Amino acid sequence: MFSIRGQGLGLAIVASLIGMTAAAHAAGERVLYASLGDTARSPIGWVEFCADHPGDCRGGATQARDIVMTQAAWKDLVRVNRWVNDTVKPITDQDHWGVIEKWSYPTDGYGDCEDYVLLKRKMLIDAGWPREALLITVVRDKKGEGHAVLTVKSDKGEFILDNQNEDIVAWTDTGYRFVKRQSQTDQNTWVSLGDNRPAVATASAR
């Protein structure tokens, strides 16, 4: 289990369990993207992160997989999101590393949005969740700034883990514009989600 400063979060998650009471959100919500589009350029920082952590960026085609969202899985998802949000302290890459953009695990307890995402994703994968259902996603937040979140693909819809929000919500309820995310079938391939303006993932720590 990945930990920060010796702190670990024990999880016992079986991703393929059945059942769940989380309701799908009603039709008629404001659609921020319609469908997956063309291949997009990898976000700034992803290639360098993969060079530092090749085991976490295994390439090659895989089969798309969605989580079957049970009550137990939902509770563990909430726990991971809240624990990382509460444990990691926000700081910009400029203040942290002296560069505009750097993706890294927040092993010293500090990071910006993509670092929160990387840790949540790793903790869930280490606990048995399929990486094909855990997609790093670049969005524009409500201020129009670049931001990174984790999309969880499930049989009950797509949910967003976000360091700007303690609650896990459906993607339609974020108010964000979705730019691009990892492909379910190859984590090193990124697909466009409709907003083609250039976006650095993190303009701010939160």
- Which residue in this structure is represented by tokens 């910006």? 112
The count of domains in the chain is: 1
Q: Which of 179, 182, 103 is nearest to 144 (CA)?
A: 179
**β strands within the chain, DSSP E:** 39-40, 89-90, 110-111, 134-140, 146-154, 157-162, 165-170, 177-182, 190-192
- Compute CA 185 distance to the chain's CA centroid, rounded to the nearest angstrom: 16
Residue 167 sits in a domain of what CATH number?
A: 3.10.620.30
Query: Cα dist. 165→44, 57, 82, 141, 170 in Å?
Result: 23, 27, 9, 12, 12
| The predicted structure's pLDDT at residue 2 | 44
* pLDDT for res 194: 75
64 in Cβ contact with 121 (< 8 Å): no
In a domain, 199, yes or no: no
Task: Provide the 3-class DSSP secondary structure of residue 1.
Answer: coil
> What is the structure's pLDDT at 206?
52
CB atoms near residue 51 (< 10 Å): 9
Residue with tokens 């990945």: 2
Q: What's the pTM value of the predicted model, to 2 decimals?
A: 0.80
Q: Is residue 18 part of a domain?
A: no
Residue 10 domain-assigned (yes or no): no
Q: Which residues form the domain of 121?
A: 39-192
Q: Count other C-beta atoms under 10 Å from residue 29's C-beta.
A: 11
Segments in the chain below pLDDT 70 = 1-37, 195-206
Q: CA 86, CA 200: separation in Å to the nearest integer?
A: 24
Q: What is the pLDDT of residues 88-138, one digit of tens each?
A: 999 999 999 999 999 999 999 999 999 999 999 999 999 999 999 999 999
203 found inside a domain: no
pLDDT at 196: 52
Domain assignment present for residue 146? The answer is: yes
Domain membership of residue 74 (yes or no) is yes
CA atoms of 88 and 84, how far apart (whole Å):
6
**Where do we find the tokens 């009603």?**
26
* Three-state DSSP state, 166: strand
Looking at the domain assignment, is residue 30 inside a domain? Answer: no
